[in-house]
Amino acid sequence: MKRAFVSALALSTMLFSSPAAFAQELATKDRIGLTNAPKTLTVRLTNDSPNNPDPAIAQGYQKLFVDFIKKHPDWKLQMQFMSADIGTEQAKMLEQAKAGNAPDCAAVDSFVLSQFMVNHVLADFTPYFSKDEVADLFPFIRNGITDKDQAIRAWWWDTDLRVLYRNKSIVPDAPQTWDDLKKAGLASVKEGMEGILFNAARYEGSTFDWLANYWALGGKLVDDSGKPVFGEGENKEKFLKALTYYKDLVDSGAAPKRVTTIGNYDDLNAAAAAGTTALFIGGNWQLAQLKATLDPDEFANWTFSPIPGPTADQRSTGTGGWTIASFSKDKDKVEMCANLARDIYMGPGNALQQQLPTRKSLFDRYDVFATEANKTFAEALANGQARPGAPIYPEISNQIQIMMGDVLSGTKQPEEALNAAFKATMEAYKRL
**pLDDT tens for each residue of 261-317:** 999 898 999 999 999 999 999 999 899 889 988 999 999 999 999 999 999 999 999
pLDDT (mean) for 143-171: 95
Sign of the CA dihedral with 49 first, then 53, 56, and 62 last: positive
Mean pLDDT of 41-54: 94
Instruction: Say yes or no to pLDDT of 153 above 80.
Output: yes
Reply yes or no on whether the pLDDT at 242 is more than 60.
yes
Mean pLDDT across the chain:
91
Given this model, what pLDDT does residue 96 score?
Answer: 97
Size of the chain in residues: 432
E strand or H helix at 32: strand 31-32
Average pLDDT for 3-25: 43
Q: What is the pLDDT of residue 88?
A: 86
pLDDT of 21 reads 45
Q: What is the pLDDT of residues 98-139, one digit of tens each?
A: 999 999 999 999 888 888 998 999 999 999 999 999 999 998
What is the structure's pLDDT at 7?
A: 41
Is a pLDDT exceeding 70 seen at residue 219?
Answer: yes
| Burial of 109 per CB tally in 10 Å (0-12, 13-18, 19+) | buried
Q: What is the reported pTM?
A: 0.78
pLDDT at residue 268 in the model: 96
Q: Which residue, among 255, 236, 198, 256, has the nearest Cα to 418 in the 3D structure?
A: 236
Exposed e or buried b for every residue in 338-367, given b needs 16+ CB within 10 A?
A: bbbbbbbbbbbbbbbbebbbbbeebbeebe
Contacting residues for 380 by C-beta, under 8 A, at least 6 apart: 161, 163, 306, 315, 317
- Burial label for 136, CB within 10 Å (0-12, 13-18, 19+), is middle
CA distances to 247, 412, 423 from 244, in Å: 5, 12, 19
pLDDT at 391: 78
The Cα–Cα gap between 280 and 31 comes to 44
Among 149-153, 387-391, 416-420, the range scoring the smallest mean pLDDT is 387-391
Nearest of 83, 44, 138, 119 to residue 389 by alpha carbon: 119
Query: Is the separation of the CB atoms in 266 and 201 below 8 Å?
Result: no
Cα first-last separation, the chain: 52
Q: In whole angstroms, give the CA distance from residue 246 to residue 235.
A: 17
Please give the average per-residue pLDDT across 71-95, as a whole number: 92
* Residue 14 confidence (pLDDT) above 50: no
Q: Domains of the chain (ranges plus CATH)?
A: 18-152+319-381 (3.40.190.10), 160-315+388-428 (3.40.190.10)
On whether the CB atoms of residues 104 and 333 are closer than 8 A, the answer is yes
Which pLDDT belongs to residue 71? Answer: 97
Cβ pair 358, 321 in contact under 8 A: yes
Give residue 381's pLDDT: 85
